[in-house]
Every structure is written in structure tokens, then in C-alpha cells.
A and B are shown apart, each in its own frame.
Chain A
Amino acid sequence: MSVIIGFLFMAAVYLILSRSLLRVIIGTGLLSHGAHLLILTMGGFAGPAPPVVADGVTDYVDPLPQALILTAIVISFGVTAFFLVMAYRAYQELETDNMTLLKGNDEHD
């Protein structure tokens, strides 16, 4: 599990540092997935047991990390979707998706 998380983070960093805006967005998606998996491991990953506490159930995992992940997934879904729309608008307006061409400050617009 930790290998997967490490791999996700690695791929995310590589993609975020790349030049194409679309790859950057995919990178942020991977980064948040890595973080979500990290929550799962950090909460004590206990195999296939369900996160349900009921009478007679003795084998269960901590449900809180799963609730956190669900919330985090919803948020990252919203942010990524918004980011994609933004990138598309920027591509239309600025006619580039190349991050190096998006530099600039007040002096040279």
C-alpha cells in the first residue's frame, strides 16, 4: 500500500512539474488520490473487514478515515472539475496550454 502511495505521489510530482496544463491537472488528481490512500493506511488498514459497528460484529475497521476520504474525494472532485473548466477557458482565451508561455507580470502582459 505504501508503495502505491509513494508511486502516486511520485507520478503526481512529475506530472505537476511538466509543461502541459492538462498533465498538471492530472497530476493534482493523482496527488489527491495519493493523499486519500494515505488516510486509509494511516487509519490502520485492517484488510477486508467492514467499517460497521453492530451487535455481534467483532471484526471491524475504524470508520472515521473512510468518512474523511469520502469527504476529501467529493472536494477533490469539485476542485478538479472546476480546474478543468478553467483550463479549457484559459486555452480558448490564451490559445496555449503551455505553462512556460503562461508566465508574465504587469510589465509584459
Chain B
Amino acid sequence: MKSSDVILQTATKVVFFLIFLFAIHIFFAGHYTPGGGFVGGLLTASAIVLLLLAFDLKTVSRALPFNYTIMIAIGLLLALGTASASILFDVPFFTHAYDYFDLPLFGETSLHSAMLFDLGVYLVVVGATMNIILTIGSDD
């Protein structure tokens, strides 16, 4: 089914990036304020769904050639790996480390090992959601 709604398609091209940027903002905001990997992942997935609505499956999978199952696997490994790093230092599981860095553009930012964990969560959520939607959607 090739949809040809010009208004929807044009709007999507802009809105997709807005949603995606907002998802990234939410993701980084997650440490001290509401947000985080789960919400960010869901937002990203919804942006991709909007693309799917506006264009068709083939176009989208050409534009975003990810294998979502492998995305889940990477996310899981990243999250677990971060948590397991605490084993190497022989402190209880999930203990996180953090430090402050002077990054260009962002100014002084605190970087946490918890953020890597959140990145894993983000990947798992995007992967899982897209997997489910594609399972149902790819039949038509």
C-alpha cells in the first residue's frame, strides 16, 4: 500500500526530526529530571511509526536499514555489561560511577555509567517496539 498523501509526507519529513531530537533530549534529561531510556525509546519508535504511516514499509526499511532483533541484543549487552562492570571492581552489582566533564557545546556535564545502561534500555525499547509493530504491520 503506497500512500500518497502529500501533506502528511511533507509534514512527516519535518516532524520526524523534531520528534527524534526531542527523544534524544528526553533521553539525556533522564538522569535528574523525568525522562530516560524507556520514554526516549518509545518516542523514537513512534517517530518511526509516523514514517511508516506516511510512506510505506519498503521505503522506510531502505532509509533505516536496521535489524531490530540485533538492536535488542546490543542494547541488552550494553545494559548488562555496564551493570556487570561493577563485578570487576568487586562492588555490588549495579553500583554506578560518575564524574564531571567539560564537554564542548554542552558546558560542564556529569557523565554517569548509568547513562550507558540507559542507552542499552533505549536500544532495547526501540528494537522491541519496532519488532512488534513490524510483525503486525508487514502482513498487509
Question: Which residues of A line the B interface, CB within 8 A?
Answer: 70, 74, 78, 81-82, 84-85, 88, 92
User: Which residues does chain A contribute within 8 Å of B139, judged by CB atoms?
Assistant: 92
Task: Tell me, in angstroms, the Cα distance from A88 to B139 when the chains sit together.
Answer: 11
Question: Is A84 within 8 A of B136, CB to CB?
Answer: yes
User: Which residues does chain B contribute within 8 Å of A82, judged by CB atoms?
Assistant: 132
Question: Is B136 within 8 A of A88, CB to CB?
Answer: yes
Question: Is B132 within 8 A of A81, CB to CB?
Answer: yes
**Interface members, chain B 121-140 (any A CB < 8 Å):** 128-129, 132, 135-136, 139
14 contacts between A and B (CB under 8 A): A70-B38, A74-B38, A78-B128, A81-B128, A81-B129, A81-B132, A82-B132, A84-B132, A84-B136, A85-B132, A85-B135, A85-B136, A88-B136, A92-B139
User: Which residues does chain A contribute within 8 Å of B128, judged by CB atoms?
Assistant: 78, 81
What does DSSP make chain A's interface, helix, strand, loop or mixed? helix
What does DSSP make chain B's interface, helix, strand, loop or mixed? helix
**Interface members, chain B 57-102 (any A CB < 8 Å):** none
* Chain B count of residues within 8 A CB distance of the other chain: 7
User: Which residues does chain B contribute within 8 Å of A70, judged by CB atoms?
Assistant: 38
CB distance from B79 to the nearest CB of A (A): 13
**Interface members, chain B 36-64 (any A CB < 8 Å):** 38
Task: Tell me, in angstroms, the Cα distance from A85 to B135 when the chains sit together.
Answer: 7
Task: Tell me, in angstroms, the Cα distance from A84 to B129 when the chains sit together.
Answer: 12
